[in-house]
């Protein structure tokens, strides 16, 4: 049995930031990660990270309070306002800390951190390092983790949590390199396992963003909050759905339909292309549905950057230019890029308080997998990297304090029991010769989610999707794993993952069917308006073997009364 005071699952931005904080507090901290930390999806983040630094001439009177208001309004008033205020108040300190640790932020003429406009923001507030912001921050945080001597278990998959409901006792994980299953005793565990994009067919997320580990927390008895709120990014390139950063529109890019018209005029006359993502994605989808799109990829519009000029594109957006050349053969200096909305982010996640604590003592969550909630029904661009560093720091501090000076209360029996169950599940999968194939089940789940729990939703299609997910869950019991070897058995890993993904997908569908209103990313054709009287509340999905049981909790309001979102 391996032992650490704090184990952080996940080596992305949130995980590394949490680990750095807990180690700085003196806790023996380890990171356990499916991938080498610098390969985490955080490294794909392009556009930037928000903080009211007021560095640009046009944003001298920006403030954390204004940033909080934009966040709450962007969230369609479902964010907990106290949490949004914490996010934006902590933001400047976290950004300057990253700067001092060495993140090479792009600069203004007079040497300050430069800030670009992003959707739904009243001021240019997004700090960036060209269009590779996530990559630079991830490498910088990794350096800090190395400096602090944090032990990293690379290429391990966490597969079960060992908690008796009163205290945490550790986790069980699969070593991908050997196939061995090991127990890790830990008084505190921080989930920082990223998003769940791969539950959808069209997604900007990496292969690793399966959401499986949200399922691990969910199955251990931690509710998932607000899962029906899924973000679709307006501009992913057709075919692969790789992201074209919102920074492209922040720098002045246009969205054009097949008439050559900047159609956002019709939907958000003031903010135009920089309206929040839920609004821009719906607008694109309406243009396509009404015949004003282009046919590629089942329907798309054009992202036109040509007027920005070669120099600006090469300086500010070199990464997305390379991506469009590599994946479409299109140079955005010369031609517009065909784009369509794709799943991008989950606003919901593991239910936590403002310090990342879940309902299980000693278990925390931070980053995209967590729901604090700061993003409510729709996240603003640039607020997710921010959430990772702000809430990562807070969760790491809380975990570090939780274990400090405490005699370890680990009960080996609880851990052994969890290990025995997880081992039996893995062994059963390895032995299975069931007729169902992983790829078919996974594909059907992802297609169902994209088609029926997508940008526009309505009761009948969603209920059919729920039925499909339940049927897939039954078929999953008969799934066969073809590869029987132990080392790097990705067939086994993907099959294990699918079980958790189906649970998480079901929690999204169940929450979406139940919520009879339209708010942020949850847009229903049969309930077109926001209904504050009945639905100003958070959904909590509790795991049961038959599917999610839903309960609701109130939204915290501090300063801002709900208003109609106009942009």
Ligand X SMILES: Cc1cc2nc3c(=O)[nH]c(=O)nc-3n(C[C@H](O)[C@H](O)[C@H](O)COP(=O)(O)OP(=O)(O)OC[C@H]3O[C@@H](n4cnc5c(N)ncnc54)[C@H](O)[C@@H]3O)c2cc1C
Q: Where along the sequence are the contacts to ligand X (CB under 6 A)?
A: 9-15, 32-35, 37, 40-42, 44-49, 133-134, 156-158, 192-195, 204-205, 208-209, 212-213, 243, 245, 345, 367-369, 381-385, 388
H and E: helices and strands count for the chain = 16, 21
3-state secondary structure of 412: helix
C-beta of residue 388 within 8 angstroms of C-beta of residue 366: yes
Distance CA 374, CA 549 (A): 23
Q: Report the distance separating Cα 19 and Cα 151, nearest Å.
A: 10
Alpha carbons 351 and 434: distance in angstroms, whole number: 35
CB of 213 to ligand X, least distance (A): 4
- Least separation in angstroms between residue 464's CB and ligand X is 28
**Is the Cβ–Cβ distance between 181 and 419 less than 8 Å?**
yes
Q: What SS3 class is residue 218?
A: helix
7: which strand partners? Answer: 30, 189
Q: Phi, psi (5° rounding) for residue 484?
A: -105, -5
Helix axis angle, 383-403 relative to 13-24, nearest 10°?
30
By beta-carbon proximity to ligand X, the closer residue of 77 and 345 is 345
Nearer to ligand X, 139 or 470 (CB): 139
- The catalytic residue among 4, 125, 169, 249 is 249
Work out how close the CB of 435 gets to ligand X at its nearest, in angstroms, rounded to a whole number: 27
CA dist 57 and 433 (Å) reads 65
Q: Which CB atom, from 40 or from 163, has the smaller least distance to ligand X?
A: 40
Which phi-psi region, left, alpha or beta, contains residue 478 (left: φ > 0; alpha: ψ -120 to 50)?
Answer: alpha
Q: Which is nearer to ligand X, 213 or 438 (CB)?
A: 213
Which of residues 34 and 461 has its CB atom nearest to ligand X in the complex? Answer: 34
Q: Measured from the CB of residue 182, what is the shortest distance to ligand X in angstroms? A: 13
Between β-strands 349-351 and 224-225, what pairing exists: parallel, antiparallel or unpaired? antiparallel
Query: Could you confirm whether 233 is annotated as catalytic?
Result: yes
Q: Give me Rg for the CA atoms of the chain.
A: 22
Q: Which is nearer to ligand X, 99 or 532 (CB)?
A: 99
Concerning whether 24 is annotated as a catalytic residue, the answer is no
Is 384 within 8 Å of 372 (Cβ atoms)?
no
Q: How far from 521 is each of 224, 380, 527, 547, CA to CA, in Å?
A: 17, 11, 13, 23
Among the options 4, 233, 515, 530, which is catalytic? 233
List, in sequence order, every residue forming a beta bridge with 113; answer none if it has no partner: 107
- Least gap, CB of 457 to ligand X (angstroms): 22
Sign of the C-alpha dihedral computed for residues 518, 524, 529 and 532 taken in this order? negative
CB nearer to ligand X: pick between 37 and 461: 37
Nearest approach, Cβ of residue 45 and ligand X (Å): 3
Q: Residue 281 or 518: which CB sits closer to ligand X?
A: 281
| Residue 112 contacts residue 98 (beta carbons within 8 Å) | no
Shortest distance in whole angstroms from residue 535 CB to ligand X: 25
Judged on CB neighbours under 10 Å (0-12, 13-18, 19+), 291 is: exposed
User: From the CB of 91, what's the least distance to ligand X, in Å?
Assistant: 11
DSSP conformation letters of 33-86 = ESS-GGGSGGGG--S-EE-----SGGGTT--HHHHHHHHHHHTTT-S-HHHHHH
Q: By C-beta, is 275 or 370 nearer to ligand X?
A: 370
Nearest distance from C-beta of residue 18 to ligand X, angstroms: 9
State how far the alpha carbon of 61 is from the alpha carbons of 94, 112, 121, 124, 482, in Å.
20, 16, 13, 11, 61
The nearer residue to ligand X, 47 or 550, going by C-beta atoms, is 47
Is the distance from CB of 348 to CB of 225 less than 8 angstroms? Answer: yes
Read off the tokens for 353. 């308080």
Active site residues: 233, 249
């Amino acid at each position: 049995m391996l032992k650490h005071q704090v184990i952080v699952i996940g080596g992305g931005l949130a995980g590394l930031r949490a680990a750095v904080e807990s180690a700085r507090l003196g806790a023996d901290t380890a990171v356990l990660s499916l991938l080498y930390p610098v390969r985490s999806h955080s490294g794909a983040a392009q556009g930037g990270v928000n903080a009211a630094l007021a560095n640009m001439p046009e944003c001298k009177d920006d403030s954390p309070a204004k940033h909080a208001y934009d966040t709450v309004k962007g969230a369609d008033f479902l964010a907990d306002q106290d949490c949004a205020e914490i996010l934006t108040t902590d933001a400047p300190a976290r950004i300057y800390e990253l700067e001092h640790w060495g993140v090479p932020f792009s600069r203004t003429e007079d040497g300050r951190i430069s800030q670009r406009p992003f959707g739904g923001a009243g001021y240019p507030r997004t700090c960036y390092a060209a269009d590779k912001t996530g990559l630079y921050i991830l490498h910088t945080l990794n350096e800090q983790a190395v400096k602090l001597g944090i032990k990293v278990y690379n290429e391990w998959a966490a597969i079960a949590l060992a908690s008796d409901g009163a205290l945490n006792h550790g986790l069980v994980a699969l070593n991908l390199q050997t196939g061995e299953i090991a127990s890790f005793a830990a008084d505190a565990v921080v989930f920082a396992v990223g998003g769940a994009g791969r539950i959808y067919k069209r997604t900007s997320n990496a292969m690793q963003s399966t959401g499986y580990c949200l399922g691990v927390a969910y199955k251990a008895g931690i509710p998932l909050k607000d899962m029906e709120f899924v973000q679709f990014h307006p501009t992913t390139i057709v075919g692969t759905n790789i992201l074209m950063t919102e920074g492209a529109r922040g720098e002045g890019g246009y969205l054009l339909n097949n008439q050559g018209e900047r159609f956002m005029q019709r939907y958000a006359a003031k903010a135009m292309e920089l309206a929040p993502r839920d609004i821009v994605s719906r607008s694109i989808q309406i243009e396509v549905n009404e015949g004003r799109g282009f046919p590629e990829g089942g329907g798309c519009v054009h992202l036109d950057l040509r007027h920005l000029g070669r120099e600006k594109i090469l300086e500010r957006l070199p990464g997305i230019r390379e991506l469009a050349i590599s994946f479409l053969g299109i140079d955005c200096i010369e031609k517009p890029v065909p784009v369509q909305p794709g799943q991008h982010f989950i606003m919901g996640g593991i239910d936590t308080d403002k310090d990342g604590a879940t309902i299980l003592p000693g278990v925390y969550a931070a980053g995209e997998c967590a729901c604090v909630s700061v993003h409510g029904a729709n996240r603003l661009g640039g607020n997710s990297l921010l959430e990772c560093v702000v809430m990562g720091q807070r969760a790491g501090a809380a975990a570090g304090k939780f274990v400090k000076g405490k005699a370890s209360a680990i009960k080996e029996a609880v851990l052994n029991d969890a290990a025995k169950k997880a081992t039996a599940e893995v062994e059963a999968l390895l032995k299975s010769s069931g007729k169902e194939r992983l790829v078919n089940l996974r594909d059907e789940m992802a297609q169902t989610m994209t088609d029926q729990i997508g940008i526009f939703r309505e009761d009948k299609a969603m209920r059919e999707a729920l039925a499909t997910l339940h049927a897939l869950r039954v078929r999953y019991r008969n799934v066969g794993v073809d590869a029987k070897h132990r080392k790097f058995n990705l067939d086994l890993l993907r099959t294990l993952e699918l079980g958790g993904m189906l649970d998480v997908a079901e929690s999204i569908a169940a929450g979406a069917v139940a919520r009879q209103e339209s708010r942020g990313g949850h847009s229903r054709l049969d309930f077109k308006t926001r209904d504050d009287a009945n639905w100003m509340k958070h959904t909590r999905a509790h795991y049961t073997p038959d599917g999610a049981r839903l309960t609701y909790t109130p939204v915290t309001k501090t300063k801002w009364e709900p208003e109609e979102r106009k942009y």
